[in-house]
């Protein structure tokens, strides 16, 4: 991604405010020391990590382009949580897709994992994508960031630290300009600390390969993908993929990954590569590039590719059929909903029936819920859209976009107390406490006294987030 000069300048200034003496006291070589300590020996506690994680998510939303496509987010999150489900920890994981063509993925503070769209384009199989996610998840479970990043010695404004961490992890298009140099000594220091050591890489590979295997993916995919990247970058050293800057690779590391995969029992590999192919088609279309996969597209996937093109204004016969008959993914149905025009009463009934069936089949699919609500708002009424969102929202792991949509729908109905309330909810999920507080106050100020249900909702929201809403975040 391209950072504008003004943004650099801001980061540079923020970094300058941090105690420079402390920054220079840390030898840059510290990052190269082997670290074999136990995962419990972390440099800061869980509550600091949570605060840093919230500030990190806020800086992702403010400073970077998050990939908006709902199906892609849903897919990456489903895949991520499916793998994270095998870690046996109570760690918190959240997955974000960054709209950036560099090949990169990262594990930020408090289990925030980012996947660049460039990575989705670069992997050739779902197993390779799963491998990178499993690798990042393992950096989280092994507390690699909190074992390397010396929070105490980088002590400063939490938000500016989070901004620098994001800048280093997400990287930039032109590495020669040197993001870290722009940020001064402090930035270089953090950059050195965030670069994983060989030992951490080995650990993330070995645990990640086990996770991959447990989640039903091909354990060889880790070595395959990193090996291919490393080969490509040795041919063209100007195009070192971003991911290799924070995850150093070596022949030894690849051989060890291959060995480890070979030791695991052969397992029936379970895949849903239909969604993978559809997401590849979506991201490729977004950048007008080719869909790179290790296999040809199936008949259904080709139907989707054609229906999804700019020229396909109306639904094709094959898409209509897939929308109502294919139960492997709701994406065909969503594509169909986005393309329909005039509808008869009979067609509407058919759509409602199908949507409810799919919502039962995919109860945690935010993309399906919002897609159907948008259809209701356009072809039925806003009230029906609100009703389905409110009924189903509690099933979802990620609710911020659902809350934003509810806020818009209430706002169209001129119910501002409700609209503000849902904005408060949307903001608390993405860590923006100041805004959440602001909107909550606005909601209470608006006239809602007659609405007992809303007062009860506000009261329970305040109770649930009492600690966050009352306490001031460490912003010194
Ligand atoms: Zn790594």
pLDDT in tens, 256-278: 999 999 998 777 666 668 999 99
pLDDT band at 38 (very low <50, low <70, confident <90, very high): low
Name the active-site residue from 128, 136, 201, 275. Answer: 136
Residues facing 98 on adjacent strands: 66, 116
Flag whether pLDDT at 11 surpasses 70. Answer: no
Q: Ligand 1 centroid vs 204 CA: distance in angstroms?
A: 6
> 161 vs 21, 165, 361, CA distance in Å?
16, 6, 42
User: Is 294 among the catalytic positions?
Assistant: no
Tokens describing residue 259: 């060995």
Rounded Cα gap, residues 259 and 202, in angstroms: 12
Least confident of 244-248, 292-296, 450-454, 468-472: 468-472
Cα(218) to centroid(ligand 1), Å: 18
Binned at pLDDT 50, 70 and 90, residue 239 comes out as: confident
| pLDDT at site 196 | 74
Domain ranges of the chain: 5-263, 271-332
Place of tokens 């063509």: 101
Q: How confident is the model at residue 180 (pLDDT cuts 50, 70, 90)?
A: low
pLDDT of 241:
84
- Ligand 1 centroid–CA 136 distance in Å is 6
Confidence at 158, pLDDT banded by 50, 70, 90? confident
Which one is catalytic: 49, 71, 205, 335? 205
Catalytic, 341? Answer no
The arithmetic mean of pLDDT across residues 33-39, rounded, is 46
pTM of the full predicted structure? 0.87
Please tell me the distance between residue 476's alpha carbon and the centre of ligand 1 in angstroms.
32
pLDDT tops 80 at residue 151: no
Surrounding ion ligand 1 within 5 Å at CB are 196, 201, 204, 247
Residue 243 burial (C-beta neighbours within 10 Å; 0-12, 13-18, 19+): buried
Q: Minimum mean pLDDT among 9-13, 88-92, 328-332, 437-441: which range?
A: 9-13
Whole-number pLDDT of residue 470: 82
Whole-number Å distance, alpha carbon 243 to ligand 1 midpoint, is 8
Comparing 64-68, 172-176, 240-244, the range with the smallest average pLDDT is 172-176
Structure tokens given for 124: 């050739």
Quote the pLDDT of residue 471. 63
Ligand 1 center to residue 222 CA distance, Å? 11
CA of 58 to the centre of ligand 1 (A): 23
DSSP state of 197: P
């Amino acid at each position: 991604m391209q950072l504008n000069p003004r943004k650099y300048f801001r980061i540079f200034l923020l970094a300058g405010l941090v105690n420079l003496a402390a920054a220079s006291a840390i030898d840059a070589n510290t990052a190269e020391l082997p670290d074999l300590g136990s995962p419990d020996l972390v440099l800061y506690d869980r509550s600091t990590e949570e605060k840093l994680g919230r500030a990190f998510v806020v800086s992702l939303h403010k400073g970077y382009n998050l990939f908006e496509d709902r199906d892609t987010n849903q897919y990456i999150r489903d895949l991520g949580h499916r793998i994270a489900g095998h870690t046996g920890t109570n760690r918190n994981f959240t997955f974000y897709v960054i709209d950036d063509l560099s090949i990169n993925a990262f594990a930020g503070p408090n289990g925030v994992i980012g996947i660049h769209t460039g990575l989705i384009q670069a992997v050739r199989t779902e197993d390779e994508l799963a491998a990178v996610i499993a690798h990042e998840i393992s950096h989280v479970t092994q507390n690699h960031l909190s074992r390397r990043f010396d929070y105490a010695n980088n002590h400063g404004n939490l938000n500016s630290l989070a901004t620098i961490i994001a800048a280093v992890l997400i990287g930039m298009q032109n590495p020669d300009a040197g993001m870290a140099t722009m940020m001064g000594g402090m930035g270089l220091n953090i950059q050195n600390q965030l670069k994983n050591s060989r030992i951490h890489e080995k650990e993330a590979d070995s645990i990640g390969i086990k996770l991959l295997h447990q989640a039903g993916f091909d354990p060889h995919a880790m070595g395959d993908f990193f090996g291919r990247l490393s080969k490509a970058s040795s041919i063209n050293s100007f195009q070192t993929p971003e991911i290799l800057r924070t995850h150093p690779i070596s022949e030894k590391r690849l051989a060890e990954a291959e060995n480890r995969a070979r030791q695991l029992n052969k397992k029936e590999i379970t895949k849903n590569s239909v969604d993978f192919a559809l997401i590849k088609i979506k991201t490729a279309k977004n950048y007008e590039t080719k869909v790179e996969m290790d296999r040809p597209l199936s008949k259904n996937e080709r139907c989707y590719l054609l229906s999804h093109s700019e020229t396909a204004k109306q639904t094709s016969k094959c898409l209509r059929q897939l929308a109502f008959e294919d139960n492997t993914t709701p994406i065909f149905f969503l594509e169909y909903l986005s393309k329909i025009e005039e509808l008869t009463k009979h067609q509407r009934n058919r759509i409602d029936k199908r949507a409810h069936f799919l919502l039962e089949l995919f109860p945690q699919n935010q993309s399906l819920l919002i897609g159907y609500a948008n259809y209701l708002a356009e072809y039925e009424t806003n009230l029906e859209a609100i009703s389905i969102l409110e009924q189903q929202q509690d099933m979802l792991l990620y609710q911020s976009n659902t809350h934003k949509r509810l806020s818009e729908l209430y706002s169209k109905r001129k119910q501002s107390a409700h609209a503000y309330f849902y904005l408060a909810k949307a903001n608390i999920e993405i860590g923006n406490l100041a805004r959440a507080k602001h909107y909550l106050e606005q909601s209470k100020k608006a006239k809602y006294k007659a609405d007992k249900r809303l007062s009860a909702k506000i009261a329970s929201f305040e109770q649930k987030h009492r600690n966050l809403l009352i306490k001031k975040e460490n912003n010194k």
